[in-house]
Structure 1
């Protein structure tokens, strides 16, 4: 009897092994067959191949286009690369990653966003999504590279950037996933940061029926104001050598000045300002006295102090028209320094105005930027790229869930931009937060810079964050994406967003970031690196 039982067990093991091998072979074959089996209008299949977990995937990106050139696959999957025509003069590259365990992981679809001027596919977000069992789609937003040059005299490419590439990639991506698995998608999600955050809210505004859950981080909504504020930075600081310019070391001193003046407001000295709105920096603290210089006393001239004060003040245009809130008062990351204050106009504004708005390669922020330019940009609002609509009734009626978060140390897009958008939605829809919470929640994240990194509990498992050392070792159960899944599929609405401080790949602190308008507040006792030492209060 024992011998027979052993034979039966061995037989089942062999049968299971053969079955698994057969399924894997069939999966690979179905993947390669997509070149013939998947047909869609205006779509060319560029590649259909099986990719094993751990494979170094290389991408056909030109060397100079600032896009990711390779990524490590985090799942066994089928990779499909498509070129979809959107007009006679434009097209979008779409990548579809479909893991082997899709059916057993909930049959979920995930769309990823872009960044900057939009021509880079977020491959790291895609590979991470497949590790959780999502079928994931990414696209190049209608042109190659994070540059505005392809906009030049090509309005259809601008249209793709504004919204059409996202819409097109979503449609074709879902079609490919359903075809490949011979099954309907259960739930559809979106995740993106910066320009990707804007794209997510654009979807919520214009085609919310395509997504059950949208995660929008540091969104570049009110796009023209974001571009204007960034462009105005150069006008405030001037180039190196000008009386108004601060060098890198001087900006470090400004950061330390802000920390010294405002860090203690929340009751914890940790280089993190929990509520930047309570911080009103006084840069005159760094003003040089008679006979003093930066070299002798690490101080600033009156012109430099005025530069700092202007940067930490709201932006107004012609006739006192409000353009944008002030920059966040605590911005340490040097990518922000180089991008905003390095003495060179930011490329996003320069290339947007040059190639999209004016179609004039000779135009430049240095010589041509003024508030008339900004007014013209607002008036044109090319293909609705402004993404300013605050009536989200269609999203509410569609039962689409929206989770927005923004780092309070963002050096690129001020977090006050997201506060303004949220409050605008509340006013426009006539919904107080208690009712807005049913479908739209906003989480300010103290200590998070632009999309990723920072001095606080910045890691929330969001877009662009999984390239950080140690990030893949963190349980994704309470990541922002899986938090959205629980909200959509189980009706568990998040009151807090779990953040972790990552230093050298090691988690050194945790915090539960409260949903707006509640405030994440230190209890006054306990280790501030523990989430239990904080609570949500009304003020």
Structure 2
């Protein structure tokens, strides 16, 4: 999968000379005639002014909605394309082309998706254009965040695994190079969750496409992440079962974890700096004789065992480690809805039902077991597992990889990222000092899944720009611009700046240390100030 594979099929019709005689708006609206690419149709070519409310035609699928509108952050050209990837599949590609692109460094930015991957991250695209990037997004080959489009459509699964990302990048770059008088200087990628997996997929299989990849909370080792969703549901059971905990009960577990572990880092702030040091004892909530939740806010023995299972590593057939435990914090409603709420994860069920088995009657409740998990690992449809640990091509290409993961992530265990990083180190035979040349990992305390949480978790990353007040934070030390400095100036990050946003106001900051160093309180000073923390070896 090299750049020449698709680019050789692209026909670019507008000459640079003619482009210079037209206004930006004229060139934009003329794209319907001037731009052509194989298997590609242009759906929209519009000049959009700053402050415009842009609406999108994405479908609502299986109860999961995509963003329906966004406010443009700058004057730009918006191009929407439909690109065929096979006789039975296609990908919707959006390209945002800001007016100040050349003045701002001639940079290209690809954005990722989330969940089962059918929603374009328009907030990330808009933020990228505010910084002068030409930005591309895509629907990963199907509309809506649901697995239903996978049913008996192998080519759509292939798009989800890798092809939509690769195709959108190729077509998007051809649009950018066609539209502006100058060619792209540097190319970047940013994504979280499934978008983080996509970033690591690019790093593993086609790193030549990007100079810098920002991958957050990546769903690498995809089949383990999917299996964890099934295991958690089977452990908690549906609402009303003896093993199920209500949201209020999980909130009580959260407070118990905070009470037992918050002080380990020396600061009582509802943030666990290193959750791997936290081994919560849920038995502290066990009801005594005659006690109940209604009268005493306690848990039954079956419920305590559920908490134990959720906060323990997951083992499958023959004692094989499938996945690390989930992080021992469960405050966010999204975690309850997706993992603990008595309904099987739509991601887990959607993948097994529609992609793996093509069986609409399949359910986690009735059919999930460790043989299913083994089968999923063995099939590894189109390499969706994203578990390759040899990043030699990325290293040789000088592709920079910045991975970060929230340590309060309620959906994908942060230990999954630690595990992947250490496997890369072992399999490549590179200690951290050598990996630092091209691959760095930043654990972010107090950050939930991609966004949210009680800590200084706003790092200017993917999906964080819907946070109130986010656009008012100076982007100079955002993770995206941190990557730009690494690629273009050779300034490699030792820390990643995070801020705590409350009601749109910054109330604290922390310089999160690069793994394997630990972000450590100095013992004195205001813990809300980054200067009160340091990076230590233990």
TM-score by length of 2: 0.95
Whether the aligned pair in 2 keeps the contact of 1:109 and 1:136 (CA below 8 Å) is yes
Higher alpha-carbon Rg: 1
Is 1:333 aligned to 2:321, yes or no? no
Whether the aligned pair in 1 keeps the contact of 2:251 and 2:330 (CA below 8 Å) is no
Is 1:42 aligned to 2:45, yes or no? no
Instruction: Deviation per CA, 1:87-124: give whole Å up to 9, x if none.
Output: 00000000000000000000000000000000000000
CA separation in 1, counterparts of 2:482 and 2:243? 45
CA separation in 2, counterparts of 1:182 and 1:166? 25
CA separation in 2, counterparts of 1:349 and 1:453? 23
CA separation in 2, counterparts of 1:182 and 1:428? 44
Structure 1 residue aligned with 2:321: 322
List gaps (5 residues or longer) in structure 1.
1-21
List gaps (5 residues or longer) in structure 2.
1-18
Instruction: Kindly report structure 1 stretches of 4+ aligned residues shifted beyond 6 Å.
Output: 22-25
Whether the aligned pair in 1 keeps the contact of 2:211 and 2:398 (CA below 8 Å) is yes
Structure 2 residue aligned with 1:398: 397
Structure 2 residue aligned with 1:302: 301
Compute the displacement of 1:384 (Å): 0.1
CA separation in 2, counterparts of 1:203 and 1:69? 28
Structure 2 residue aligned with 1:418: 417
Compute the displacement of 1:62 (Å): 2.3
Whether the aligned pair in 2 keeps the contact of 1:331 and 1:449 (CA below 8 Å) is no
CA separation in 2, counterparts of 1:382 and 1:182? 41
Compute the displacement of 1:61 (Å): 1.7
CA separation in 1, counterparts of 2:247 and 2:91? 39
Compute the displacement of 1:182 (Å): 2.7
Instruction: Deviation per CA, 1:470-500: give whole Å up to 9, x if none.
Output: 1000100000000000000000000000000
Whether the aligned pair in 2 keeps the contact of 1:448 and 1:454 (CA below 8 Å) is yes
SS at match of 2:37: coil
CA separation in 1, counterparts of 2:361 and 2:60? 25
CA separation in 1, counterparts of 2:119 and 2:154? 19
SS at match of 2:82: strand
Compute the displacement of 1:331 (Å): 2.5
Instruction: Deviation per CA, 1:19-68: give whole Å up to 9, x if none.
Output: xxx99970000001100100111100111010000000000122455101
What is the root-mean-square deviation of aligned Cα atoms in Å? 1.1
Is 1:135 aligned to 2:134, yes or no? yes
Structure 2 residue aligned with 1:311: 310
Structure 2 residue aligned with 1:493: 492
CA separation in 2, counterparts of 1:24 and 1:264? 65
CA separation in 1, counterparts of 2:86 and 2:163? 10
CA separation in 2, counterparts of 1:72 and 1:525? 43
CA separation in 2, counterparts of 1:270 and 1:292? 31
CA separation in 1, counterparts of 2:268 and 2:130? 37
CA separation in 2, counterparts of 1:24 and 1:351? 51
Is 1:61 aligned to 2:21, yes or no? no
Instruction: Deviation per CA, 1:306-334: give whole Å up to 9, x if none.
Output: 00001000000111111000000123111
CA separation in 2, counterparts of 1:24 and 1:141? 36
CA separation in 2, counterparts of 1:210 and 1:420? 26
Structure 1 residue aligned with 2:6: none
The residue correspondences of 1:85-164 to structure 2 (distance < 5 A) are: 85-164=84-163
Is 1:528 aligned to 2:537, yes or no? no
CA separation in 1, counterparts of 2:261 and 2:136? 42
Whether the aligned pair in 2 keeps the contact of 1:518 and 1:536 (CA below 8 Å) is yes
The residue correspondences of 1:2-81 to structure 2 (distance < 5 A) are: 26-64=23-61, 65-81=64-80
Tell me whether 196-205 or 25-34 shows the greater mean CA deviation: 25-34
Cα pair distance change 1:63/1:321, threshold 3 Å: closer
CA separation in 2, counterparts of 1:359 and 1:89? 16
Structure 1 residue aligned with 2:187: 188
CA separation in 2, counterparts of 1:381 and 1:225? 11
SS at match of 1:196: helix
Instruction: Deviation per CA, 1:234-270: give whole Å up to 9, x if none.
Output: 1000111111111111101000000000000000000
Whether the aligned pair in 1 keeps the contact of 2:403 and 2:440 (CA below 8 Å) is yes
Compute the displacement of 1:344 (Å): 0.6
The residue correspondences of 1:345-356 to structure 2 (distance < 5 A) are: 345-356=344-355
SS at match of 2:441: strand
Cα pair distance change 1:148/1:63, threshold 3 Å: closer
SS at match of 1:466: helix
CA separation in 2, counterparts of 1:524 and 1:63? 51
